[in-house]
């Protein structure tokens, strides 16, 4: 590497802010399309691995962790797609790293919409990471991608979680974590650094095709907004950062809420049941009646906040969404109306009764029951959500 490379050194510093050093000790698969951003990410991670490999023998693992460069050739642009693949293979050879290329199966889904293509790549990355013994999957999403993602979510009417945008690290497929160490880095910075060190890349002509929503936002919408609001990228990134802090606080409260007001019920061949104790009735005469409560194993409520927070719909909704994630119940069909309905059932102060009544159903054939002091969710095993 030339000694006079200020752009590269600045890029290394930006990358280092979000790159977990432990990743170099357990193996990384880095997705590379052949564009400037992903080629830059390969060079950065390779640099981090070589730096880790240069540590003293006492700290070096007996078996070097793998660094795998993965490229998925969708074969949508004929010779152009093949040229992208050749560049990625040549890059891997120049760094003496393993390159694995995936392609769509001949009999596979011919869909080429954004969602289908993204899911195809993701499945390939996860499968390859598993076979190669990698714990982390690194992708080259930049600060510009983050701003576009937040705007896209806003236009689609996202909830509060969607305003946080992408996170630097996200669990995927149980055993793996997606890393996005360039989320604080601008695309222009990456291109300048690659030019400075003499690293070539390829421009994907399909990135100019505004039929894809992401390209439309990048090529048409964002430039138009900048004519009136030049700092729109920074504004969207601030929105994401502020919402992430708010969401972190809400997630902490939701976790405490579940500890206090949720209890796992029985699980058998037909499914499982979850019980929500109504926080509005804590300390009431109904709550002191322990007959049904003991039947589902309630412990003493440990809630160190006031009642208004315990019955707040935002806290309860976040708690329910957290529970769905923990129970591996997909939330795709749960609309805002469903979440609000469930939260209102839980926070309601019903008339005292020991009768168990049906409140209705939620998507996925989840049946909801209510007594005077709790809400029950019955999730069948044959549900598409279970």
Can you point out the beta strands (E) in 279-365? 357-362
Residue among 310, 314, 252, 325 nearest 276 (CA): 310
Can you point out the beta strands (E) in the chain? 28-31, 67-72, 98-102, 136-138, 169-172, 176-179, 262-268, 271-277, 357-362, 366-370, 374-380
By CB neighbour count within 10 A (0-12 exposed, 13-18 middle, 19+ buried), where does 131 fall?
A: exposed
* Residue 34 marked in a binding site: yes
Angle at 194 between CA 193 and CA 196, to 5 degrees: 65
207-to-35, 177, 222 alpha-carbon distances in Å: 10, 27, 15
Residue among 25, 39, 135, 33 nearest 95 (CA): 39
CA dihedral 226, 228, 231, 237 (to 10 degrees): -80
Q: Check: CB of residue 139 under 8 Å from CB of residue 118.
A: no
Residue among 317, 357, 313, 338 nearest 374 (CA): 357
Task: For residue 58, give every residue at least 6 positions away whose Cβ sits within 8 Å of its Cβ, in sequence order, or none.
Answer: none
Q: Which two tokens stand for residue 325?
A: 């994630």
Q: Which two tokens stand for residue 206?
A: 């399909």
- DSSP annotation of 144 reads H
- DSSP annotation of 34 reads S
* Residue 36 marked in a binding site: yes
- Count CA atoms closer than 13 A to 38's CA, side-chain side: 23
What SS3 state is found at 116?
Answer: helix
Q: Check: CB of residue 66 under 8 Å from CB of residue 133.
A: yes
Cite the annotated binding site for ATP by residue number: 33-38
Cite the annotated binding site by residue number: 33-38
């Amino acid at each position: 590497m030339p000694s006079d490379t200020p752009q590269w050194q600045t890029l290394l510093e930006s990358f280092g802010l979000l790159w977990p050093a432990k990743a170099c000790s357990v193996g990384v698969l880095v997705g590379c399309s052949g564009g400037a951003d992903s080629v830059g990410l390969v060079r950065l991670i390779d640099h981090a691995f070589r730096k880790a490999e240069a540590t003293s023998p006492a700290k070096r693992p007996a078996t070097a962790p793998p660094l795998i460069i993965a490229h998925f050739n969708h074969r949508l642009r004929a010779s152009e797609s093949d040229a992208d693949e050749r560049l990625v293979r040549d890059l891997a050879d120049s760094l003496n790293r393993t390159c694995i290329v995936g392609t769509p199966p001949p009999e596979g889904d011919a869909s080429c919409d954004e969602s289908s293509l993204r899911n195809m790549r993701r499945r390939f990355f996860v499968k390859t990471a598993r076979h190669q013994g990698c714990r982390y999957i690194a992708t080259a999403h930049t600060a510009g991608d983050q701003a576009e993602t937040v705007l896209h979510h806003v236009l689609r009417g996202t909830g509060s979680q969607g305003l946080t945008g992408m996170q630097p690290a996200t669990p995927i497929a149980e055993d793996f974590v997606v890393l996005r160490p360039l989320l604080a880095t601008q695309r222009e910075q990456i291109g300048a650094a690659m030019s400075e060190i003499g690293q070539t890349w390829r421009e994907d002509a399909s990135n100019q095709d505004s039929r894809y929503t992401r390209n439309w936002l990048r090529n048409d919408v964002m430039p138009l907004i900048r004519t009136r609001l030049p700092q729109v990228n920074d504004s969207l990134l601030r929105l994401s950062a502020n919402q992430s802090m708010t969401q972190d606080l809400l997630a902490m409260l939701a976790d405490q809420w579940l500890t206090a007001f949720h209890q796992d019920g029985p699980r058998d061949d037909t499914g499982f049941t979850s019980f929500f104790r109504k926080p509005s009735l804590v300390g009431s005469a109904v709550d002191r009646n322990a007959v049904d409560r003991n039947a589902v194993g309630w412990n003493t409520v440990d809630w160190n906040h006031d009642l208004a927070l315990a019955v707040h719909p935002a806290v309860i909704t976040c708690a329910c969404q957290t529970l769905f994630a923990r129970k591996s119940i997909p939330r795709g069909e749960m609309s805002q109306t469903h979440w609000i309905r469930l939260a209102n059932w839980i926070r309601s102060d019903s008339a005292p009764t020991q009768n168990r009544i049906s409140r209705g159903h939620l998507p996925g054939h989840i049946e909801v029951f209510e007594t005077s002091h709790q809400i029950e969710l019955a999730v069948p095993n044959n549900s598409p959500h279970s």
